[in-house]
Amino acid sequence: MADDLTRIHEELASDGVYVHPSLRGLVSKADEADLEHQVTAAEHTTYVVVWPLRDNDTYGGKASDLLTRLHDKFPDPGIYLSTTTRLEPTDYSSVEVDGRQWGVPGQPDGELNDYSIEMVVDLEEHQDVPSAMSRSIELLSMDPARVEKLQDKLLAEHSADYREENPREDDDGWLPGGLTTVVVALVAVFVAWRVAVSFRKQAKPAPLPKSALKQIRAARARETLSLAHDESQALGEQLDELEIAPGDDQQAWQAALDHYAAVRRLLTPEEPDELDAVGALVLTRRGRDALETARAGKAWAPSPTCYLNPLHGRAGKERRVEWQGRTLEVPLCPDCLTALRRKKAPDILDVVRRGKPVHYFETDAEPWASTGYGSLEPDLVTRLQAGLQ
């Protein structure tokens, strides 16, 4: 990692832009030259880092971690922009840019001062890295009030598009996937992102009989349990076959063993509760990650899963979600973020309780509900052990 940071710093000190060699297919030499010209002309010292972030990499897939470590090692003042794990567009998301700043006159260190910039780039749905990064630099040079007006305009357009595609009927009933109707206000951690997103009833297809819905839910529960058994068995076999090598991280190894032991306890009953089966999957995947990290000789820390649905895997940025009068800052996966941005209902994990579908975090299933399967409180193993005592 130290060599990575040194290479990045040397290139930034030279021309203000670093492009990882593996991403040359996304950012050409000509694109890089254009970005270099932009950062040279910027009002404040600006740096651009194009890095192949991945969820399970040294930086946990977080641009904030990469940039913070870079600045800690080489504390040059300025505005730092970086790519995220969203390097290419998909059917559900566009290219994303993240940023940090240090030593900018009159502005606090840390998050970008004008947070509307990231929101505008996201709403404009840029399809390639050069476009998203160039637009970010351009927005940095604009008056913040103008950027905020642009953000409001884009939000209004997206909202109008949503209303046109999804005519509102009434406020009662069900959302697709059996979710109860709720109103969720997604407000970014940043004050500038003042967005309220309402999930309304969609135009309904012909309703399924209750017996069919019950069978569908039962099938989903069986699938989750089967997957938990399969993945935990694979982890157990890995742990049996491997031995701790001199270069391995012993604490990470122990974490892998502890997670596997917790999984076996959860799957001991003949028919575990569906939320326990989901918990077993989350713990198994954390155990596997801990084992891989141990074998690489690195310290391990659990990565948060998506708060709305832990089956979505690792989460990215935290967002402030207002839910039934409560406000939480929770990590969300790219799919849920995209659904919220597009004013669509995210795929929230729900289960049947007393004959009615409810979201998992509205149940009394612990430690899952209060910790968000580790998204709010990372140490799931300790919480689980405390509950079993």
DSSP 209: P
- To the question of domain 2-146 being in CATH 3.40.50.11540, the answer is no
CB 334 within 8 A of CB 93: yes
Residues of CATH 3.10.310.50 domain(s) within the chain? 2-146
What per-residue confidence (pLDDT) applies to 315?
A: 85
Helix pair 250-266, 380-388: axis angle to 10 deg: 40
Tell me if the bond preceding 367 is cis, omega within 30° of 0: yes
49, β-bridge pairs: 18, 82
By CB neighbour count within 10 A (0-12 exposed, 13-18 middle, 19+ buried), where does 198 fall? middle
* DSSP-derived secondary structure for 331-356: E--HHHHHHHHTT------EEEETTE
Q: What is the pLDDT along the chain (389 residues), one digit of tens a residue?
A: 558 899 999 999 999 999 999 999 999 999 999 999 999 999 889 999 999 998 778 888 888 889 999 999 999 999 999 998 889 887 667 888 989 999 988 888 887 766 678 878 888 889 999 999 999 999 988 888 888 888 778 877 766 665 565 454 433 333 333 333 232 333 332 322 333 333 333 334 444 444 445 555 667 778 888 889 999 999 999 999 988 888 999 999 999 999 999 999 999 887 888 999 999 999 999 999 999 999 999 999 998 899 999 998 888 767 776 666 666 788 888 788 777 777 778 889 988 887 778 899 989 999 999 999 999 888 999 988 886 54
Residue (of 301, 274, 320, 268) closest to 374 by Cα position: 301
